[in-house]
Amino acid sequence: MIYSFKSFYRTPIRSIIYILLLAIAATSLCTSLAMWKYSAESVEYVQDTFTTIGVLSELDFMEQSDTRSLSPQYDYSMLAEVKKKAMESKYVSSYDIREYIMGYNENICADVKQGFYENTYPYSLSIVTGVCESMQWNKVTVGYKVIIKIDYSDLNILPAYIKRFGNPQYVEIAGTYMTADNKSPFKVGEKYIVYLMCNEYYPAHKKINGRVDKSGEDFYKYEEMVEYSSATMKEEFGEFKEGKPFYKVTNPDLHMAQKIDTTAYDFIEKEQGIWAKRAEKCAITQQSAELILTNSMRSMLMFNTNDAYIVEGRTIAEEEYANGANVCVVSASFARNNKLKIGDKLPLKVYENDFLPYGIMLKKGTPGVSGFLNVEGKDRIDVWLSKGFDPDRGFVGEVEYEIIGTFSTRDIVNRNEFTINNNTIFVPQKSIEGDFNTRPTVHTIKRYTDKLRHTELLRTSIPGCFSVIIKNGYADAFEKEMEAAGYGGIFYYFDQNYSEVKKVLDEYNNTSRLIALISLLAWVTVVTVFLTVYASKSRRDIAIMRSLGTSQAKTYISQLVIIVLIVLIAAIICSIVASRIYDNITAAAFEEVSKSSNLVGGLLSVTEKSKGTVITTAVAQFFVIVIAFALIMLIQIKRNIMVLMKKAKKQ
């Protein structure tokens, strides 16, 4: 053993050259193999993690409420066949036909911010009881404004986003219709129960902004115009220009205000009719959330584009979808406002709801996930709003969910068929039995020709409910298949930049594979030369040691120790240097790939996992060299001493 170390130190330059050559060759091999594994596993990770979806805009098939909306590009009768063809495609791995219902819990409040109609409906539906303090008809346009002082000792059902301001004293109500008997719906000094929408509260004016006659009812069917006549209407309405139009609604069930001489509680208990249903509708709707029954959250546009993302916990697992597990994902805002956390149970009484197609004006700014729907000159778009609880239909069942995750959304300027609000809860489709959304929605279109005409169109599908998950890399093939069937250009494709990331990683994979092959050949060449040279040199040492009477075993161990020392040092150097080089290369690669997608965070785990290849390869090549040399020495050590001496002299 001592001789081994002396021999190592006796020729330091030669030993250092051996170590450096082996270290360089091994470093190249270890780094290239690790990079090859990294690129190969990255491609596999991207294949498994990224999702390519195809979505269609059902508004492309619909005539919308406003003429300033986009005209339909396709006939509505095509829609079902387009979906069927897409689901049958060989390039589609799965599809999702989402269902929409609502869930009620007396201990929660709808997570809604005050503001525009499309953001607050149906949670804005309210009951207010109070005394009319002022009533004024508009001199020029149709309609009136009335101010009610709220009586908090009586029945009032107000949204949480209003109640957070305390107890607002007044509500200012805008309305349209007089009563069926040509009377004003309000008189100063009288007490009323009012069914209205409370959209927002103005702290500066200390008044709630309310609206009646705009709750999605079919007022036009019972609407009549009355021209003002001072002879018959002055006493009731005041003085106006002759012929000024007033509108009345002839169906008493559509009257939104009721004069009462008792408490609202007593009135409703005695009446047990439309007002009892209205109170029940408001109370339940305001403590409800919208449930989306889905088979894949990742098939939804906002989650695919990362405009919606998990902030705590996790998403629903594939086996939970398959088994219909009672788990759910809620918005972080909903959880916070209702004091809920991951692991909590959320019991819900579920019910079906009808929908109200409603035209909104697109606001200026970043269009968000549906920017492709905006066309210059067209600034209106239909959104479908839930109508809330229907007392006549009641509840369809009860279910208790465990909260497993919370999500958040980026700021979206314009609501559309693909956006998600904070009052949404995602659950596995199989967690609730039944077929929902089977009742067609009546979409009433108003158009002016020779007169105002209303057309009722039946819609059998809810916009935004359908998407397909396409096998990664096959979006173009899917589009060609749809085009061949006559449905080209209908779907919009989102692959989370899979194609760009895959292209970059494929280039890395091909390059690293080539480098790994070259490095392997170089390493084999260096090791072969090293073993040949060192084995040749060792013959003389073996011959000398054997001639001096050293046993075969001691001679063998002596030579083997030297080679182990050289190769071990080279392996240690290789492990350190190769690891550093690997970190630098993968960091640069990750930075480049990150430019194409924000979903490559998981590649960091692939980086760490593949880094182990450096050490594994270093250890493996160490044993390969040592074992190879050990076999060579085993052959040489058994040769005749005279033969070894002769070969040593020839050298």
520 located within any domain: yes
Is 566 in contact with 469 (CB distance < 8 Å)?
no
pLDDT for the residue numbered 589: 73
How many CB atoms are closer than 10 A to CB 377? 6
DSSP 1-24: -HHHHHHHHHSHHHHHHHHHHHHH
Query: CA dist 38 to 25, 41, 511, 571, 590, Å?
Result: 20, 5, 12, 21, 11
Is 93 in contact with 470 (CB distance < 8 Å)?
yes
437 located within any domain: yes
Domain boundary among 459, 474, 495: 495
pLDDT for the residue numbered 547: 60
Whether residue 235 sits in one domain with residue 138: yes
pLDDT for the residue numbered 373: 45
The CATH number of residue 194's host domain is 2.40.50
| Domain extent for 364 | 52-107+287-495
- Alpha carbon distance 211, 145 (integer Å): 9
Number of Cα atoms under 13 Å in the Cβ half of residue 161: 25
Among candidates 136, 203, 209, 144, which has minimal Cα distance to 176?
144
Whether residue 191 sits in one domain with residue 87: no
pLDDT for the residue numbered 644: 46
Query: CA dist 26 to 38, 358, 376, 528, 566, Å?
Result: 18, 69, 62, 13, 13
Domain boundary among 280, 314, 336: 280
Q: Answer left, alpha or beta for residue 213, where phi above 0 means left and psi between -120 and 50 means alpha.
A: left
Reduced to 3 states (helix: H, G, I; strand: E, B; else coil), residue 472 is: coil
- Alpha carbon distance 452, 440 (integer Å): 24
pLDDT for the residue numbered 8: 52
Whether residue 38 sits in one domain with residue 99: no
What strands, in cross-sheet order, belong to the sheet with 223-227?
177-178, 245-249, 223-227
Whether residue 510 sits in one domain with residue 481: no
pLDDT for the residue numbered 261: 94
The residue with tokens 């005695």 is: 270
Reduced to 3 states (helix: H, G, I; strand: E, B; else coil), residue 118 is: helix
- Alpha carbon distance 173, 634 (integer Å): 102
pLDDT for the residue numbered 633: 74
Whether residue 249 sits in one domain with residue 166: yes
- Alpha carbon distance 318, 310 (integer Å): 16
Residues 6+ apart with CB under 8 A from 215: 125, 195, 197, 256
Whether residue 228 sits in one domain with residue 99: no
Domain boundary among 467, 495, 523: 495
Q: What domain count does the chain have? A: 3
- Alpha carbon distance 243, 601 (integer Å): 69
112 located within any domain: no
Whether residue 304 sits in one domain with residue 170: no
The residue with tokens 């009288």 is: 190
Whether residue 394 sits in one domain with residue 250: no
pTM: 0.81
Whether residue 503 sits in one domain with residue 382: no
Is 239 in contact with 169 (CB distance < 8 Å)?
no
Q: Answer left, alpha or beta for residue 380, where phi above 0 means left and psi between -120 and 50 means alpha.
A: beta
pLDDT for the residue numbered 367: 45
356 located within any domain: yes
Q: At what angle do helices 498-547 and 12-49 cross, to 10 degrees?
A: 150
214 located within any domain: yes
Strand partners, 127: 157, 195
Query: CA dist 119 to 33, 161, 300, 331, 581, Å?
Result: 55, 12, 20, 16, 54
- Alpha carbon distance 519, 461 (integer Å): 60
Whether residue 520 sits in one domain with residue 463: no
- Alpha carbon distance 651, 647 (integer Å): 6
Token pair belonging to 383:
């959104």
Whether residue 564 sits in one domain with residue 523: yes
pLDDT for the residue numbered 474: 93
Rounded to 5 degrees, φ, ψ at 639 are -75, 160
Question: For the chain (length 651 residues), average pLDDT per consecutive 10?
Answer: 53 79 87 85 77 94 86 93 96 96 97 89 96 93 94 96 89 94 94 95 88 85 91 90 92 93 94 93 98 96 92 95 97 96 98 92 55 55 94 96 96 82 96 92 84 85 95 94 95 87 78 88 89 73 60 69 84 88 81 62 72 87 85 67 48 49
Is 174 in contact with 147 (CB distance < 8 Å)?
no
Whether residue 510 sits in one domain with residue 458: no
pLDDT for the residue numbered 570: 86
Is 389 in contact with 285 (CB distance < 8 Å)?
yes
